[in-house]
Amino acid sequence: MTYTALIGVIIVAIILVAAMAISMAYRSGKHMGAVEQARRDLEAQANQPESVFGRGVRPDEASRALLDVLRSAIILTDGLGNVRYVSADAKRLDLVSDGHVSSSEIRDMLTQVVGDDQVRDREVTVTASAPSGRITEQTERYLQVRIGHLASIQGASVPDGDGIADKGGRNELYVIMIEDVSDRRHFESMRRDFVTNVSHELKTPAGAISLLAETISDAAGDPDAVKYFSGRISKESARLTELVQKLIELQKVQDDDVAAAQSNEPVCVPQIVREAVSENEVQASAKHIEIRMFFGDDTVGVVAGAEGSDDDGHDHSGATPGRQVDVNDEDAIVVRADAENLKTAVKNLVENAIHYSPEGTHVGVSVKRTNGSVQIRVVDQGIGIPAEAQNRIFERFYRVDPARSRATGGTGLGLSITKHIVQEAGGTISVWSRPNEGSTFTIELPRA
Protein backbone atom coordinates (compact mmCIF):
# COMPACT_ATOMS: atom_id res chain seq x y z
CA MET A 1 0.00 0.00 0.00
CA THR A 2 1.40 3.33 -0.98
CA TYR A 3 1.63 6.27 1.38
CA THR A 4 -1.12 8.12 -0.51
CA ALA A 5 -3.55 5.20 -0.23
CA LEU A 6 -2.84 4.89 3.49
CA ILE A 7 -3.64 8.57 4.02
CA GLY A 8 -6.96 8.11 2.14
CA VAL A 9 -7.97 5.19 4.33
CA ILE A 10 -7.19 7.19 7.47
CA ILE A 11 -9.26 10.15 6.24
CA VAL A 12 -12.25 7.91 5.46
CA ALA A 13 -12.00 6.31 8.90
CA ILE A 14 -11.89 9.73 10.54
CA ILE A 15 -14.98 10.84 8.59
CA LEU A 16 -16.88 7.71 9.60
CA VAL A 17 -15.97 8.16 13.27
CA ALA A 18 -16.98 11.83 13.10
CA ALA A 19 -20.32 10.94 11.48
CA MET A 20 -21.01 8.37 14.16
CA ALA A 21 -20.14 10.84 16.87
CA ILE A 22 -22.41 13.50 15.35
CA SER A 23 -25.28 11.00 15.05
CA MET A 24 -24.91 9.90 18.65
CA ALA A 25 -24.74 13.51 19.82
CA TYR A 26 -27.89 14.36 17.83
CA ARG A 27 -29.81 11.44 19.29
CA SER A 28 -28.66 12.31 22.76
CA GLY A 29 -29.58 15.94 22.29
CA LYS A 30 -32.99 15.04 20.90
CA HIS A 31 -33.67 12.77 23.85
CA MET A 32 -32.52 15.42 26.30
CA GLY A 33 -34.70 17.97 24.51
CA ALA A 34 -37.72 15.72 24.82
CA VAL A 35 -37.02 15.14 28.47
CA GLU A 36 -36.60 18.87 29.00
CA GLN A 37 -39.85 19.63 27.14
CA ALA A 38 -41.72 17.05 29.21
CA ARG A 39 -40.28 18.61 32.36
CA ARG A 40 -41.39 22.04 31.23
CA ASP A 41 -44.90 20.75 30.38
CA LEU A 42 -45.18 19.20 33.84
CA GLU A 43 -44.05 22.43 35.44
CA ALA A 44 -46.49 24.44 33.35
CA GLN A 45 -49.31 22.05 34.24
CA ALA A 46 -48.36 22.27 37.92
CA ASN A 47 -48.38 26.06 37.78
CA GLN A 48 -51.79 26.22 36.05
CA PRO A 49 -54.96 26.50 38.21
CA GLU A 50 -56.53 23.07 38.63
CA SER A 51 -59.89 22.66 36.76
CA VAL A 52 -62.96 21.13 38.33
CA PHE A 53 -62.16 17.95 36.42
CA GLY A 54 -58.79 17.55 38.14
CA ARG A 55 -55.35 17.20 36.62
CA GLY A 56 -54.77 15.01 33.61
CA VAL A 57 -58.18 15.78 32.09
CA ARG A 58 -58.60 18.02 29.09
CA PRO A 59 -61.16 20.65 30.14
CA ASP A 60 -62.51 21.23 26.63
CA GLU A 61 -63.19 17.55 25.99
CA ALA A 62 -64.65 17.02 29.46
CA SER A 63 -66.85 20.13 29.18
CA ARG A 64 -68.45 18.99 25.93
CA ALA A 65 -69.05 15.52 27.33
CA LEU A 66 -70.62 17.05 30.45
CA LEU A 67 -73.02 19.16 28.37
CA ASP A 68 -74.15 16.04 26.54
CA VAL A 69 -74.71 14.10 29.79
CA LEU A 70 -76.72 16.77 31.63
CA ARG A 71 -80.47 16.15 31.85
CA SER A 72 -81.23 19.82 31.19
CA ALA A 73 -81.12 21.35 27.73
CA ILE A 74 -78.18 23.78 27.49
CA ILE A 75 -77.71 27.04 25.60
CA LEU A 76 -74.46 29.02 25.87
CA THR A 77 -74.78 32.66 24.91
CA ASP A 78 -73.18 36.03 25.48
CA GLY A 79 -75.06 38.75 27.31
CA LEU A 80 -76.54 40.09 24.08
CA GLY A 81 -78.23 36.78 23.28
CA ASN A 82 -75.78 35.66 20.59
CA VAL A 83 -75.82 31.89 20.88
CA ARG A 84 -72.46 30.07 20.92
CA TYR A 85 -73.62 26.52 21.70
CA VAL A 86 -76.95 24.64 21.62
CA SER A 87 -77.32 21.11 22.97
CA ALA A 88 -79.36 18.51 21.11
CA ASP A 89 -82.20 18.73 23.66
CA ALA A 90 -82.29 22.53 23.33
CA LYS A 91 -82.57 22.20 19.56
CA ARG A 92 -85.63 19.99 19.97
CA LEU A 93 -87.25 22.69 22.10
CA ASP A 94 -86.88 25.11 19.17
CA LEU A 95 -85.74 28.07 21.32
CA VAL A 96 -83.02 29.37 19.01
CA SER A 97 -83.69 31.22 15.78
CA ASP A 98 -81.04 32.79 13.52
CA GLY A 99 -78.38 32.38 16.20
CA HIS A 100 -80.39 34.14 18.92
CA VAL A 101 -82.67 33.07 21.79
CA SER A 102 -86.21 33.34 20.42
CA SER A 103 -88.20 33.41 23.67
CA SER A 104 -88.82 36.94 24.91
CA GLU A 105 -89.22 35.74 28.52
CA ILE A 106 -85.85 33.98 28.46
CA ARG A 107 -84.24 37.06 26.88
CA ASP A 108 -85.69 39.22 29.67
CA MET A 109 -84.23 36.85 32.28
CA LEU A 110 -80.83 37.03 30.55
CA THR A 111 -80.93 40.84 30.57
CA GLN A 112 -81.60 40.84 34.32
CA VAL A 113 -78.75 38.40 34.98
CA VAL A 114 -76.39 40.53 32.87
CA GLY A 115 -77.44 43.60 34.84
CA ASP A 116 -76.88 42.34 38.39
CA ASP A 117 -74.89 39.10 37.90
CA GLN A 118 -77.42 37.15 40.00
CA VAL A 119 -78.51 33.63 39.07
CA ARG A 120 -82.18 33.45 38.18
CA ASP A 121 -84.51 30.47 38.18
CA ARG A 122 -88.02 30.75 36.81
CA GLU A 123 -90.73 28.79 35.05
CA VAL A 124 -91.69 30.24 31.68
CA THR A 125 -94.42 29.34 29.22
CA VAL A 126 -93.78 29.12 25.50
CA THR A 127 -96.05 28.25 22.61
CA ALA A 128 -95.05 25.12 20.74
CA SER A 129 -95.92 24.92 17.06
CA ALA A 130 -97.80 21.87 15.83
CA PRO A 131 -96.16 19.60 13.21
CA SER A 132 -99.07 20.38 10.91
CA GLY A 133 -98.45 24.12 11.24
CA ARG A 134 -102.05 24.77 12.28
CA ILE A 135 -102.53 27.52 14.82
CA THR A 136 -105.46 25.66 16.40
CA GLU A 137 -103.15 22.73 17.22
CA GLN A 138 -100.49 24.80 19.00
CA THR A 139 -99.83 23.79 22.59
CA GLU A 140 -98.32 25.47 25.63
CA ARG A 141 -95.00 24.16 26.90
CA TYR A 142 -93.80 24.78 30.45
CA LEU A 143 -90.05 25.22 30.91
CA GLN A 144 -88.02 25.54 34.11
CA VAL A 145 -85.23 27.97 33.15
CA ARG A 146 -82.06 28.75 35.14
CA ILE A 147 -79.58 31.37 33.89
CA GLY A 148 -76.19 32.31 35.35
CA HIS A 149 -72.81 33.78 34.45
CA LEU A 150 -70.33 31.17 33.31
CA ALA A 151 -67.03 32.84 32.31
CA SER A 152 -65.39 35.82 30.65
CA ILE A 153 -64.83 35.61 26.92
CA GLN A 154 -61.12 36.03 26.15
CA GLY A 155 -60.27 38.38 23.29
CA ALA A 156 -63.80 39.78 23.16
CA SER A 157 -64.42 42.86 21.06
CA VAL A 158 -64.04 46.30 22.57
CA PRO A 159 -67.27 47.85 23.93
CA ASP A 160 -69.03 50.08 21.43
CA GLY A 161 -69.79 52.76 23.98
CA ASP A 162 -73.26 51.66 25.00
CA GLY A 163 -71.96 50.37 28.32
CA ILE A 164 -73.60 46.96 28.00
CA ALA A 165 -70.37 45.06 27.49
CA ASP A 166 -68.87 46.61 30.59
CA LYS A 167 -71.49 44.87 32.75
CA GLY A 168 -71.38 41.60 30.89
CA GLY A 169 -72.90 41.79 27.44
CA ARG A 170 -70.80 40.44 24.61
CA ASN A 171 -67.69 40.09 26.77
CA GLU A 172 -69.20 37.47 29.09
CA LEU A 173 -70.49 33.94 28.64
CA TYR A 174 -73.78 32.83 30.20
CA VAL A 175 -75.40 29.43 30.51
CA ILE A 176 -79.14 28.85 30.07
CA MET A 177 -80.29 25.55 31.56
CA ILE A 178 -83.77 24.42 30.54
CA GLU A 179 -85.89 21.54 31.77
CA ASP A 180 -89.21 20.72 30.10
CA VAL A 181 -91.76 20.26 32.91
CA SER A 182 -94.82 20.25 30.65
CA ASP A 183 -95.76 16.64 31.41
CA ARG A 184 -95.47 17.31 35.13
CA ARG A 185 -97.68 20.40 34.92
CA HIS A 186 -100.26 18.64 32.76
CA PHE A 187 -100.32 15.70 35.19
CA GLU A 188 -100.82 18.03 38.16
CA SER A 189 -103.59 19.84 36.32
CA MET A 190 -105.29 16.57 35.36
CA ARG A 191 -105.01 15.30 38.93
CA ARG A 192 -106.65 18.45 40.30
CA ASP A 193 -109.36 18.28 37.66
CA PHE A 194 -109.86 14.58 38.33
CA VAL A 195 -110.41 15.08 42.07
CA THR A 196 -112.72 18.03 41.41
CA ASN A 197 -114.71 16.19 38.76
CA VAL A 198 -115.04 12.95 40.72
CA SER A 199 -116.27 14.88 43.75
CA HIS A 200 -118.79 16.76 41.61
CA GLU A 201 -119.96 13.74 39.62
CA LEU A 202 -120.50 11.64 42.75
CA LYS A 203 -122.09 14.48 44.68
CA THR A 204 -124.68 15.30 41.99
CA PRO A 205 -126.51 11.93 41.81
CA ALA A 206 -126.01 11.27 45.52
CA GLY A 207 -127.57 14.65 46.36
CA ALA A 208 -130.39 14.04 43.90
CA ILE A 209 -131.15 10.62 45.41
CA SER A 210 -131.25 12.12 48.90
CA LEU A 211 -133.55 14.92 47.80
CA LEU A 212 -135.86 12.58 45.89
CA ALA A 213 -136.08 10.18 48.83
CA GLU A 214 -137.12 13.08 51.05
CA THR A 215 -139.71 14.14 48.47
CA ILE A 216 -141.16 10.61 48.33
CA SER A 217 -141.44 10.62 52.08
CA ASP A 218 -143.43 13.86 51.94
CA ALA A 219 -145.62 12.55 49.09
CA ALA A 220 -146.34 9.16 50.63
CA GLY A 221 -150.10 9.64 50.13
CA ASP A 222 -149.80 10.32 46.39
CA PRO A 223 -149.13 7.06 44.45
CA ASP A 224 -148.48 8.87 41.17
CA ALA A 225 -145.88 11.14 42.77
CA VAL A 226 -144.24 8.20 44.52
CA LYS A 227 -144.05 6.32 41.20
CA TYR A 228 -142.56 9.33 39.38
CA PHE A 229 -139.94 10.11 42.00
CA SER A 230 -139.06 6.42 42.39
CA GLY A 231 -138.28 6.34 38.69
CA ARG A 232 -136.07 9.41 39.12
CA ILE A 233 -134.25 7.70 41.98
CA SER A 234 -133.67 4.62 39.81
CA LYS A 235 -132.28 6.80 37.03
CA GLU A 236 -129.89 8.66 39.35
CA SER A 237 -128.87 5.38 40.98
CA ALA A 238 -128.08 3.88 37.56
CA ARG A 239 -126.05 6.96 36.70
CA LEU A 240 -124.10 6.65 39.94
CA THR A 241 -123.51 2.93 39.34
CA GLU A 242 -122.29 3.58 35.79
CA LEU A 243 -119.90 6.28 37.00
CA VAL A 244 -118.40 4.01 39.65
CA GLN A 245 -118.10 1.19 37.09
CA LYS A 246 -116.33 3.50 34.63
CA LEU A 247 -113.93 4.63 37.37
CA ILE A 248 -113.12 0.99 38.13
CA GLU A 249 -112.53 0.29 34.42
CA LEU A 250 -110.28 3.34 34.12
CA GLN A 251 -108.27 2.27 37.14
CA LYS A 252 -107.86 -1.23 35.71
CA VAL A 253 -106.54 -0.06 32.34
CA GLN A 254 -104.15 2.39 34.04
CA ASP A 255 -102.83 -0.10 36.59
CA ASP A 256 -99.51 -1.53 35.36
CA ASP A 257 -99.87 -4.73 37.41
CA VAL A 258 -103.34 -5.40 36.06
CA ALA A 259 -102.22 -4.61 32.51
CA ALA A 260 -99.30 -7.04 32.83
CA ALA A 261 -101.66 -9.80 33.98
CA GLN A 262 -104.06 -9.35 31.06
CA SER A 263 -103.90 -11.68 28.11
CA ASN A 264 -102.18 -10.65 24.91
CA GLU A 265 -103.37 -13.29 22.51
CA PRO A 266 -104.40 -13.27 18.84
CA VAL A 267 -107.84 -11.70 18.57
CA CYS A 268 -110.21 -11.81 15.60
CA VAL A 269 -111.13 -8.16 15.18
CA PRO A 270 -114.39 -8.62 13.19
CA GLN A 271 -115.70 -10.91 15.92
CA ILE A 272 -114.85 -8.33 18.60
CA VAL A 273 -116.58 -5.61 16.58
CA ARG A 274 -119.70 -7.77 16.21
CA GLU A 275 -119.88 -8.30 19.97
CA ALA A 276 -119.34 -4.59 20.72
CA VAL A 277 -122.02 -3.54 18.24
CA SER A 278 -124.42 -6.18 19.55
CA GLU A 279 -124.24 -4.68 23.04
CA ASN A 280 -125.32 -1.30 21.62
CA GLU A 281 -128.22 -2.54 19.47
CA VAL A 282 -130.92 -1.73 22.03
CA GLN A 283 -129.78 1.90 22.35
CA ALA A 284 -129.50 2.25 18.56
CA SER A 285 -132.97 0.77 18.04
CA ALA A 286 -134.48 3.19 20.56
CA LYS A 287 -133.23 6.11 18.44
CA HIS A 288 -133.93 4.39 15.10
CA ILE A 289 -130.21 4.48 14.25
CA GLU A 290 -128.91 1.87 11.83
CA ILE A 291 -125.47 0.42 12.57
CA ARG A 292 -123.77 -1.02 9.51
CA MET A 293 -120.53 -3.04 9.70
CA PHE A 294 -117.92 -3.27 6.94
CA PHE A 295 -115.18 -5.90 6.94
CA GLY A 296 -112.16 -5.88 4.63
CA ASP A 297 -112.94 -4.59 1.13
CA ASP A 298 -116.70 -4.94 1.56
CA THR A 299 -118.47 -1.72 0.47
CA VAL A 300 -122.05 -2.88 1.10
CA GLY A 301 -121.77 -3.77 4.76
CA VAL A 302 -123.84 -5.82 7.17
CA VAL A 303 -126.62 -4.26 9.22
CA ALA A 304 -126.34 -4.94 12.93
CA GLY A 305 -128.66 -7.77 13.93
CA ALA A 306 -128.63 -9.35 10.48
CA GLU A 307 -126.77 -12.53 9.64
CA GLY A 308 -123.24 -12.10 8.31
CA SER A 309 -123.63 -14.60 5.48
CA ASP A 310 -124.99 -14.46 1.94
CA ASP A 311 -127.32 -16.83 0.13
CA ASP A 312 -124.66 -19.48 -0.38
CA GLY A 313 -124.07 -19.65 3.35
CA HIS A 314 -120.50 -18.39 3.26
CA ASP A 315 -119.39 -15.89 5.84
CA HIS A 316 -117.65 -12.87 4.26
CA SER A 317 -117.08 -10.92 7.43
CA GLY A 318 -113.66 -12.36 8.19
CA ALA A 319 -114.96 -13.52 11.58
CA THR A 320 -114.77 -17.03 12.94
CA PRO A 321 -117.04 -18.73 15.47
CA GLY A 322 -115.96 -17.84 18.99
CA ARG A 323 -112.66 -16.10 19.55
CA GLN A 324 -110.27 -18.81 18.40
CA VAL A 325 -108.24 -17.61 15.46
CA ASP A 326 -105.47 -18.99 13.30
CA VAL A 327 -102.71 -16.37 12.95
CA ASN A 328 -101.43 -18.19 9.84
CA ASP A 329 -104.73 -17.61 8.05
CA GLU A 330 -103.94 -14.87 5.52
CA ASP A 331 -107.63 -13.89 5.25
CA ALA A 332 -108.06 -13.37 9.00
CA ILE A 333 -107.98 -9.83 10.41
CA VAL A 334 -106.05 -10.43 13.61
CA VAL A 335 -104.30 -8.35 16.28
CA ARG A 336 -102.68 -9.19 19.61
CA ALA A 337 -104.66 -7.69 22.48
CA ASP A 338 -106.87 -8.46 25.45
CA ALA A 339 -110.19 -9.40 23.86
CA GLU A 340 -112.44 -7.99 26.60
CA ASN A 341 -110.54 -4.70 26.72
CA LEU A 342 -110.63 -4.31 22.95
CA LYS A 343 -114.37 -4.97 22.96
CA THR A 344 -114.80 -2.28 25.63
CA ALA A 345 -112.84 0.21 23.52
CA VAL A 346 -114.96 -0.38 20.42
CA LYS A 347 -118.17 -0.46 22.46
CA ASN A 348 -117.39 2.96 23.96
CA LEU A 349 -116.89 4.47 20.50
CA VAL A 350 -120.12 3.00 19.13
CA GLU A 351 -122.00 4.06 22.26
CA ASN A 352 -120.79 7.65 21.88
CA ALA A 353 -121.72 7.64 18.20
CA ILE A 354 -125.29 6.66 19.14
CA HIS A 355 -125.56 9.13 22.02
CA TYR A 356 -124.45 12.12 19.97
CA SER A 357 -126.29 11.33 16.74
CA PRO A 358 -129.82 12.49 15.86
CA GLU A 359 -132.59 9.95 15.45
CA GLY A 360 -132.87 8.21 12.12
CA THR A 361 -129.19 8.57 11.19
CA HIS A 362 -126.55 5.94 10.45
CA VAL A 363 -123.42 4.73 12.26
CA GLY A 364 -120.75 2.85 10.34
CA VAL A 365 -118.13 0.53 11.84
CA SER A 366 -115.41 -0.70 9.50
CA VAL A 367 -112.46 -3.07 9.90
CA LYS A 368 -109.72 -3.32 7.32
CA ARG A 369 -106.09 -4.27 6.97
CA THR A 370 -103.48 -1.73 5.91
CA ASN A 371 -99.71 -1.97 5.64
CA GLY A 372 -98.77 -3.91 8.75
CA SER A 373 -101.76 -2.74 10.79
CA VAL A 374 -105.49 -3.12 11.32
CA GLN A 375 -107.85 -0.13 11.32
CA ILE A 376 -111.12 -0.01 13.22
CA ARG A 377 -113.15 3.03 12.22
CA VAL A 378 -116.40 4.32 13.74
CA VAL A 379 -118.22 6.96 11.69
CA ASP A 380 -121.34 8.85 12.77
CA GLN A 381 -123.57 11.65 11.46
CA GLY A 382 -123.78 13.37 14.82
CA ILE A 383 -123.28 16.86 16.21
CA GLY A 384 -119.51 16.81 15.66
CA ILE A 385 -116.68 18.18 17.80
CA PRO A 386 -115.24 21.72 17.53
CA ALA A 387 -111.59 21.87 16.44
CA GLU A 388 -110.48 23.53 19.68
CA ALA A 389 -111.92 20.64 21.74
CA GLN A 390 -110.50 17.74 19.74
CA ASN A 391 -107.18 17.73 21.62
CA ARG A 392 -108.98 17.35 24.97
CA ILE A 393 -111.73 14.84 24.33
CA PHE A 394 -109.57 11.93 25.56
CA GLU A 395 -109.06 13.60 28.97
CA ARG A 396 -110.92 12.15 31.92
CA PHE A 397 -114.30 13.81 32.55
CA TYR A 398 -113.88 16.24 29.68
CA ARG A 399 -117.14 16.98 27.90
CA VAL A 400 -117.65 19.21 24.87
CA ASP A 401 -121.20 19.92 26.05
CA PRO A 402 -121.59 18.99 29.75
CA ALA A 403 -125.36 19.55 29.77
CA ARG A 404 -125.92 17.27 26.76
CA SER A 405 -123.57 14.62 28.16
CA ARG A 406 -125.51 14.40 31.41
CA ALA A 407 -128.79 14.28 29.49
CA THR A 408 -127.54 11.30 27.48
CA GLY A 409 -126.03 9.61 30.54
CA GLY A 410 -122.40 10.17 29.60
CA THR A 411 -119.72 10.06 32.30
CA GLY A 412 -116.87 11.71 30.39
CA LEU A 413 -114.67 8.64 30.94
CA GLY A 414 -115.40 6.44 27.92
CA LEU A 415 -112.89 7.98 25.50
CA SER A 416 -110.19 8.11 28.18
CA ILE A 417 -110.67 4.40 28.85
CA THR A 418 -110.61 3.65 25.12
CA LYS A 419 -107.36 5.55 24.62
CA HIS A 420 -105.62 3.67 27.44
CA ILE A 421 -106.78 0.31 26.10
CA VAL A 422 -105.54 1.11 22.59
CA GLN A 423 -102.17 2.32 23.87
CA GLU A 424 -101.74 -0.84 25.98
CA ALA A 425 -102.23 -2.85 22.79
CA GLY A 426 -99.49 -0.85 21.07
CA GLY A 427 -101.89 1.15 18.90
CA THR A 428 -103.08 4.70 18.36
CA ILE A 429 -106.45 6.43 18.25
CA SER A 430 -107.29 9.57 16.29
CA VAL A 431 -110.34 11.67 15.52
CA TRP A 432 -111.67 13.69 12.60
CA SER A 433 -114.73 15.78 13.21
CA ARG A 434 -116.64 18.76 11.95
CA PRO A 435 -119.56 20.41 13.78
CA ASN A 436 -123.00 19.42 12.45
CA GLU A 437 -121.44 16.91 10.03
CA GLY A 438 -120.25 14.07 12.26
CA SER A 439 -117.14 12.43 13.64
CA THR A 440 -114.80 9.61 12.67
CA PHE A 441 -112.74 7.80 15.31
CA THR A 442 -109.95 5.55 14.03
CA ILE A 443 -108.15 2.89 16.06
CA GLU A 444 -104.97 1.54 14.46
CA LEU A 445 -103.37 -1.58 15.88
CA PRO A 446 -100.34 -3.60 14.70
CA ARG A 447 -101.27 -6.83 12.92
CA ALA A 448 -100.53 -10.09 14.69
CA distance 243 to 417: 12
Would you call 397 helix, strand, or coil by DSSP?
Answer: coil
Kindly report, residue by residue over 151-185, the tens digit of the pLDDT: 888 765 544 444 444 455 678 889 999 999 988 88
What pLDDT is recorded for position 174? Answer: 92
- Confidence class of residue 326 from pLDDT cuts 50, 70 and 90? very low
How far, CA to CA in Å, does 228 sit from each of 177, 224, 232, 234, 237? 65, 6, 6, 10, 14
CA distance 246 to 252: 10
Q: Are 253 and 424 in contact (CB under 8 A)?
A: yes
Instruction: Tell me, yes or no, if the pTM score tops 0.85.
Output: no
Q: Model confidence over 195-234: pLDDT tens digits?
A: 776 776 677 677 778 888 888 888 777 888 888 888 888 8
Dist CA 398 CA 378 (whole Å)? 20
pLDDT the model gives residue 327:
43
pLDDT top residue among 7 and 165: 7
* Burial state string for 5-36 with b = 16 or more CB within 10 A and e = fewer than 16: eeeeeeeeeeeeeeeeeeeeeeeeeeeeeeee
Q: Is the pLDDT of residue 32 over 60?
A: yes
Average pLDDT over residues 246-260: 67
Q: What is the mean pLDDT of residues 55-80?
A: 80
Structure confidence at residue 202 (pLDDT): 73
